[in-house]
Structure 1
């Protein structure tokens, strides 16, 4: 089933719909993600409503291409949102997560589901045509460790794509905007908004958001400084969520009014790339002896 992608001497335990790697470390963040995304109702809501629109599909197809006949490893796959949206017929589709409930849903969609820490996977280096990390880095204790692990798995000329992690500069709310950010949770709970319908759901959801707080998040420099030394050509695209393939041409796209207000109250221009909610990183591993993009001659 796994072909030859497993590390030597690794044996995965078959546990119902998914496989288990060696026992992974238990941190507060891992426990929170296992609880929140392992809850059958909450995981199903996430699968049904998150990252399922035409904008997301267009942007990801432009970034990674069709998954048909590719070896794809989806780190932090959750219940399988990316494949549920993109489709295709991968040669091998592996999903890694710490939440058993989500892995069971992902397995139903066609993933070979593996319970493992995304920073310490049981796979050999350079085995994947595509490594996908969507809306996952900011849920992890060490974002750079997970990004490096994803990079380790990419074949030469393969691609690593990350998306939907909060851009630090856009979420660094100040003054009144910070007060409004703090008050949003009570409002969401009162109107039963989104995934904040109960106190328990809200509480566990917040515990998973390790790096999604004002003053935290990802930056262009984070992706470049982590991946370029590992022989990747790196391109980073700021975007709001209602934008498709145009994001890869530098179009930021429209922001919802509440985020525009938050940026204005924080002294930032809402239409600026630094005010865009998320960063998409598209990193291609160079072939052996291929020079970095900035070192190549211009025709």
Structure 2
């Protein structure tokens, strides 16, 4: 492990954090059969690996699928514009990107944060993020081994719905934000997406089981059956009717912790204009899904962005 990386992470670890356990033992336990000859990334002890955690570590750390996700997802101009507008200026700030994956947020936003820590459970993804400039830490977002109140900005991009306990992860993220700091999340699917209603339900089920890539919502990026199956296994809260995030998740979790909250439901084709009241527009697939749900189905943007500021 790089001594610089180790010493930088150590500044913000809790006193009881258990770091640098045997790497091969950890990956064997998680059924991730890729041995490492040397440890370059600090690893926090994770006593229990849920099936969802293993799925996420496997897919996003896969040497083929992980880079494809980095290239194809969250790489649009709108994505970068939206995140830059939400963050403002993070130069000379301490940033923690929870569930950073291969580093999409930093790759899109750029800038010169004082430190940008990438937290993830996928070693392979963290290796890529490290090349972009992240200070990596392999840890469980449900139990962050980090001290309270040190980060100027904490980000979670398309993370919560990949976690077993969304409220727990959100509260852990909130804990490490300093007074006056920002917690920003985006691209978690809304529970009221129209895909979960009407005729769209059996089509949603069919597209998971059969290689009919023309079906609404079927991925045109992950076209190999194993690849698509692994990706879908990571979507812990995007599988069944009613799955996804709700405004109540943010309000009930963050307001008691002293945060003021702004929520922005949106489609993925919108950039910084989201924060001027434009949620974007439904694309062809969105319109088709809405039609299948029934003409009376209410508008339902794909995702929600949350900008929460901790009281000073």
Q: When the two structures are superposed, what TM-score results if normalisation uses the length of structure 2? A: 0.86
Quick one: distance in 1 between partners of 2:104 and 2:125?
Answer: 10
3-state SS of 1:279 partner:
strand
Shift of 1:134: 0.5
Q: What residue ranges of structure 1 are gaps of 5+ in the alignment?
A: 288-299
Provide, for residues 34-67 of structure 1, a one-character-per-residue CA deviation record: whole Å limited to 9, x for no partner: 1111101111111111111111111111111122
C-alpha contact 2:44 2:145 (8 A) present in aligned 1: yes
Change over 3 Å in CA distance of 1:11–1:182 after alignment to 2:
closer
> Alignment partner for residue 306 of structure 2, among 253, 277, 281?
281
C-alpha contact 1:13 1:21 (8 A) present in aligned 2: yes
Provide, for residues 175-197 of structure 1, a one-character-per-residue CA deviation record: whole Å limited to 9, x for no partner: 31112222223345589953422
Structure 1 match to 2:11: 4
Structure 2 match to 1:60: 83
Quick one: distance in 2 between partners of 1:59 and 1:52?
Answer: 11
Quick one: distance in 2 between partners of 1:188 and 1:139?
Answer: 25
Quick one: distance in 2 between partners of 1:269 and 1:215?
Answer: 18
3-state SS of 1:280 partner:
strand
Structure 2 match to 1:91: 114
Q: How many residues in Structure 1 have an aligned counterpart in Structure 2?
A: 285
C-alpha contact 1:67 1:89 (8 A) present in aligned 2: yes
Q: What residue ranges of structure 2 are gaps of 5+ in the alignment?
A: 1-7, 22-37
Quick one: distance in 2 between partners of 1:260 and 1:189?
Answer: 17
Quick one: distance in 1 between partners of 2:99 and 2:159?
Answer: 6
Quick one: distance in 2 between partners of 1:34 and 1:120?
Answer: 16
C-alpha contact 2:194 2:293 (8 A) present in aligned 1: no
Structure 2 match to 1:149: 172
Q: CA RMSD in A?
A: 2.1
Structure 2 match to 1:105: 128
Quick one: distance in 2 between partners of 1:19 and 1:188?
Answer: 42
Change over 3 Å in CA distance of 1:116–1:6 after alignment to 2:
same
Structure 2 match to 1:135: 158
Structure 1 match to 2:33: none
